[in-house]
Amino acid sequence: MNSSNKFLLIVLMLLISACQTTPTFTLSPVKPIDNVYLDQAFIGHDLVAVESEQEIFALDDEMKALVTNKLLRVSDIRQRSVMLLEHIFETENINLQYQGGANLTASQTYHQGQANCMSLTIMAYSLAKAAKLNVNFQNVQVPEYWQRNGDMNMLTGHVNLVIKKRENPNKIILLSNEVLEIDFDPYVAKKSFPRKVITKNEVLAMFYNNKGAQALAKKDYTNAYRYIKAATLADNSFSSAWGNLGVLYKVTGHNEHALFTYHKAVALNKNNNTAMNNLSILLRKQGEHDLAEKIELSILRKRINNPYYYALLADESLQKGNIEFALLHYQKAIHLDDRIDEFYHGLAKVYYAMDNYSAARRALKKAMAINKVSQIDNQYLAKLNFLKQAEYNPY
C-alpha cells in the first residue's frame, strides 16, 4: 500500500504484549466541558490561511479547457471516464506521481505533477464533476495501517471514487459494466475491502485533518490546531479529527480537553482504535489503570490478526534498538500476509542492523518482486546496490 490515499491520524502507541480475550465494557460518560475549542491557547491560529472548499476543488482555465475540449466531446460515460484517467497518467499530459506529504488543491495537483492520493482523488473528482459524470467519494475500509513521520506513527485510511451511469433520473444502474471505480492505489483496487459512499464535507474534513496531522508531527501546534479545528467544523461527525484534536490537547498539556475529545471520537466511531489507544495512555497517566487495561486488551483482540499491527511493533522495536523483537514481529507480519512489499523492506532494515547483508539483499529483492510502483522500485534498487557494496566492502 505504498501509494494509498491517506487521511492521517496521529498515533501515540503503547506497546502491549497481553494475548487473551477481553470482557466487554462500556466507557462511562466523560465530564462535559464548557467549550471543546481552546482558541486562547493557540495564539495566532486565526491568522493561518486555511484553503476554502472552493479553493480546494476549483478548476482553473486549463483544466476547464480539458473538460470542454476533450471530455465532454465523448458521449459514452464509461469512455469519458477512461479518457479522464488516461489524461491524468499519460506522460505528455499531467504524468502525475505519488508524493505522500503533498496535500494539494485540485489545481495545484494538476500543475505540480506530484501529490498524495487524497489530492489526486480530489482533482479527479473535480474534473469528473465538471465533465458531468455521476461521481462520488468512497471510504475504503482498509486494515489499520501505519506510517512513521518523525517520532510519531500515523494511521492511514483510504478513499477513492466511483462513477455510476444513470439510466434515468430516478435509477442508478449497478451492473458491473456500468460502474467504474477510480483508485490511485493498485493494491487497494484489487482488494474487496468494504466501501462506503461518503460526503464531500467528510473529504474536506480529511483534507484539513491531513494538514493538521502533518503540522502536529512537526510540533507546529498553531497550524495543527487551526487545521484540525477546521476539520471538525467541516464535518462534526468525523471521528478521526476529534481523535487528533485530543492528541494535540494532550501534547500541549490540556488533559481535561484531551479526555473529552478522545471520548467524543470513540462515541462517533466505536472502531476508532487509535482514539481508544490514546485514551488508555491518558487514563494510565491519570492513575486509572484498570480501565486502561480493559481498553488495551480490547484493542489487542481486534488487532491480533492484522499484519500491519505487527509491522508497527517491528518498527517501534527497531527504533528502540530491540532488533530481535523487530525481526520476530516482521516475520509474524509476513506470516499473516506475504504479499506486502513494505514488510520485506522492513525485514531488510532489520537484517542490515544485524550486519546480515546477504539476508537484507534477499529481503529487498522480494520487496521488489512484489512492489508494483516504479518510484518505489527505484528506491529499492538504490538500497539494493548499496547493500551489494556493503556486503563486499564491509569496512
Query: Residue-wise pLDDT tens for the chain (395 aa)?
Result: 444 444 444 444 333 223 233 334 567 677 788 899 999 999 999 999 999 999 999 999 999 999 999 999 998 888 898 888 888 766 555 656 667 677 899 999 988 877 788 898 999 999 999 999 999 999 888 766 656 555 555 667 788 888 887 654 444 334 345 677 887 775 665 566 788 999 999 999 999 999 999 999 999 999 999 999 999 999 999 999 999 999 999 999 999 999 999 999 999 998 888 898 899 999 999 999 998 999 888 888 888 888 888 888 898 898 889 999 999 999 999 999 998 888 998 999 999 899 888 898 899 888 888 876 655 656 666 666 665 555 544 43
- Cell numbers 518523525: residue: 150
Inter-CA distances, 390 with 19, 229, 326, 347, 387, Å: 40, 48, 22, 17, 5
How many residues belong to the chain? Answer: 395
Inter-CA distances, 260 with 37, 69, 265, 286, 296, Å: 11, 52, 9, 14, 18
Please report how many Cα atoms fall inside a 13 Å half-sphere around the Cα of residue 222, on the Cβ side. 9
Q: Tell me the β-bridge partners of 136.
A: 162
SS3 content of the chain, % helix, strand, coil (to 5): 55, 10, 30
Q: Which of 123, 131, 32 has its CA nearest to residue 80?
A: 131
Q: Tell me the β-bridge partners of 139.
A: 159, 196
Burial code (b: 16+ CB inside 10 Å, e: under 16) for 329-349 equals bbebbbebeeebbbbbbbbbb
Question: Looking at residue 301, what is its pLDDT?
Answer: 86
Q: Which of 244, 211, 200, 178 has its CA nearest to residue 49?
A: 211
90 phi and psi, to 5 degrees?
-70, 135
CA angle centred on 201, ends 208 and 210, rounded to 5°: 20
Write the DSSP assignment of 164-200 as a string of letters. Answer: E-EEETTEE---GGGEEEE-S-HHHHTS---EEEE-H
**Helix or strand run (H / E) with residue 160:** strand 152-164
Q: Where are the beta strands (DSSP E) in 232-378?
A: none
Crossing angle of helices 273-285 and 289-303, in 10° steps, is: 150
Report whether 156 contacts 146 (CB < 8 A).
yes
Q: Which of 258, 211, 246, 249 has its CA nearest to residue 231?
A: 211
Task: Quote the CA–CA distance of 124 and 109 in Å, as a whole number.
Answer: 10
